[in-house]
Amino acid sequence: MRIVLVGPPGAGKGTQAHLLAKTLSIPHISTGDLFRANIGQGTPLGLEAKGYMDAGRLVPDEVTIGMAKDRMLQSDAANGFLLDGFPRNLGQAKALDEFLAEQGIKLDGVLDLEVPEDEVVKRIAGRRLCRNNGSHVFHVAYNPPKAEGVCDECGGELFQRSDDTEEAVRVRLEEYHSKTEPIIGYYQDQGLLVTIPALGTVDEVTARAIEALKQDS
């Protein structure tokens, strides 16, 4: 299966992508996690992305599209993938369509996680991520780790993202409304969009997502 996850910052894309990818046996590809890994390793790509990310702005398409394509071409993605945070504007959505056409493959569905803005702000404020693996996501109140500051899955150290500040979150939400929301209509026109309410517990949302993807495929 080839799926795109869409939703505002803090909607739970990473949380759900990690669980769905395990269930569907396909890799979770997060452009945000790829950028953060590059920043951690101090690569030129990471250095370029960091300023945009910390400010809450989208990283330019020239950098992002090439990185996403390279990841989708890796062998573990040959039979499917779950894209989290890509595409994030119409230019990226069109570039993805061209890439898929070149490869002779298609998307199976686009899952849109709908969450009110006051809830995403609360989710982001308490988020903690694992240093070893950005897919391991916790929340101090809603989804707390068993031991404070330690990842349940691998024992890694938990940290708060540098773009989870009030100012950067405000910009990320603006970027989402102005640049990312238009792709929802784009995929609706292609008959690929499934929207689910993403309020409720993590497990409730996962169950809704699996049901929605079954009906869509």
Per CB under 5 A, residues contacting Mg ion are 14
The Cα–Cα gap between 79 and 64 comes to 22
The dihedrals phi and psi of 118, each to the nearest 5 degrees, come to -65, -30
Query: Least distance from C-beta 103 to Mg ion, angstroms?
Result: 25
21 in contact with ligand AP5 (CB under 6 A): no
Q: Which one, 14 or 87, has the nearer CB to Mg ion? A: 14
Residue 2 vs 123, nearer CB to Mg ion: 123
- Nearest-approach distance from CB 161 to ligand AP5, in angstroms: 7
Shortest CB 27 distance to ligand AP5, Å:
16
Nearest C-alpha neighbor of 90 from the set 189, 198, 173? 189
Q: Is 104 or 170 the residue whose CB approaches ligand AP5 more closely? A: 170
CA-based nearest residue to 212, from 94, 108, 91: 108
Report how many residues bind ligand AP5 under the rule CB under 6 A: 37
**The pair of three-digit structure tokens given for residue 50, joined into one six-digit string:** 């960091």
Q: Which of 2, 36, 88, 128 is catalytic?
A: 88
Contact 197, 119 (CB under 8 A): no
Find the catalytic residue in 13, 50, 128, 208: 13
Nearest residue (CB) to ligand AP5, 32 versus 109: 32
Task: Please confirm, yes or no, whether 172 is among the known catalytic residues.
Answer: yes
Does 158 sit near ligand AP5 (CB under 6 A)?
no
Query: Which of 156, 158, 125 has its CA nearest to residue 141?
Result: 125
71 binds ligand AP5 (CB under 6 A): no
* Known catalytic membership, residue 2: no
Residue 127 bears catalytic tag: yes
Write out the residues near ligand AP5 by the rule CB under 6 A: 7, 9-15, 31-32, 35, 52-53, 56-59, 64, 85-86, 88, 92, 123-124, 126-127, 137-139, 142-143, 163, 172, 200-202, 205
